[in-house]
Chain A
Amino acid sequence: AQTVTQSQPEMSVQEAETVTLSCTYDTSESDYYLFWYKQPPSRQMILVIRQEAYKQQNATENRFSVNFQKAAKSFSLKISDSQLGDAAMYFCACPRFYTGANSKLTFGKGITLSVRP
């Protein structure tokens, strides 16, 4: 079974500063993908960034980047130059590699990020 752990329920950051959201996971798969999703008050989950486990290079999407430590099973999200629109819940998710009938995503409990103006 897979588990995804986000131990910080809430975080706060000053506008324009940098914040890091932590996530650890456990999987028996050797090849997999990791995701960070954002959920604003509208409730719709939006993909922020994706990391492929076989790639050593950390993924980057504009102001968002990850620190992926495969051996430690750690996958943190760094948000640079934080903006008011970044305020949301952030979920870390790890899939189970497709083996036939089941390829669901396992999500952590989420982190509520607030951005102070």
Chain B
Amino acid sequence: GAGVSQSPSNKVTEKGKDVELRCDPISGHTALYWYRQSLGQGLEFLIYFQGNSAPDKSGLPSDRFSAERTGGSVSTLTIQRTQQEDSAVYLCASSPNPRFTGELFFGEGSRLTVL
């Protein structure tokens, strides 16, 4: 399949542990986004990568959250010292068009549960 791939699909961790969530975008897509979806809430923007430009990190909720994108392809979202309020579905999306006119292609998300 050529869709956006995210792993793990589900992750249960203990409070205080670090977690890494991975996103493999559609090949050739230059833009990559991370969103967070908490229970009963909409999608909260976290971070956006576009080609070689500096990422837009304006949505990251705290300095415990970071993300990187290696080689313009795979991205990893890292949450350090997880808290219970970090429990959510983390959605990754990619887009082929740097001049944004069209849709985002989403993965199935990674559900994070912090005990």
Contacts from A to B (Cβ < 8 Å) = 4, 6, 33, 35, 42-47, 50, 91, 95-98, 100-110
> Quick one: closest A residue to B47, CB to CB?
A104
Q: A43-B89, A98-B100, A102-B48 are in contact. List 20 more A-B contacts (CB 8 A).
A: A4-B42, A33-B100, A35-B103, A43-B91, A43-B108, A43-B111, A44-B107, A44-B109, A91-B42, A91-B43, A96-B100, A98-B99, A100-B53, A101-B53, A102-B56, A103-B48, A104-B33, A109-B40, A109-B42, A110-B42
Report how far A96 CA is from B99 CA in the complex, Å: 11
Interface class of chain B by DSSP? loop
The reply to whether the CB of B50 lies closer than 8 angstroms to some CB of chain A is yes
User: Min CB distance, A68 to chain B, in Å?
Assistant: 16
Q: Across the interface, which residues of A come within 8 angstroms of B107, CB to CB?
A: 44
Residues of chain A within 8 A of B41, CB atoms compared: 109
Digitize B77-93: 1 where CB-to-A-CB distance is under 8 Å, 0 elsewhere: 00000000000010101
Does chain A have a CB within 8 A of B102? Answer: yes
B residues engaging A (CB < 8 A)? 31, 33, 35, 40-43, 45, 48, 50, 53-54, 56, 58-59, 89, 91, 93, 98-104, 106-109, 111
Q: Are A107 and B42 in contact (CB under 8 A)?
A: yes
Whether A106 and B50, one on each chain, are in contact in the complex, defined by CB atoms closer than 8 angstroms, is: no
Contact A105/B89 with A44-B109, A98-B98 known, Cβ cut-off 8 Å: no
A4 CA / B99 CA spacing, docked (Å): 21
Of the A-B pairs whose beta carbons lie under 8 Å apart in the complex, a sample of 15, sorted by A's number, is: A4-B42, A6-B42, A43-B108, A44-B107, A47-B103, A50-B103, A101-B53, A102-B56, A102-B58, A103-B48, A104-B48, A105-B33, A105-B43, A105-B104, A110-B42
B residues near A4, Cβ cutoff 8 Å: 42
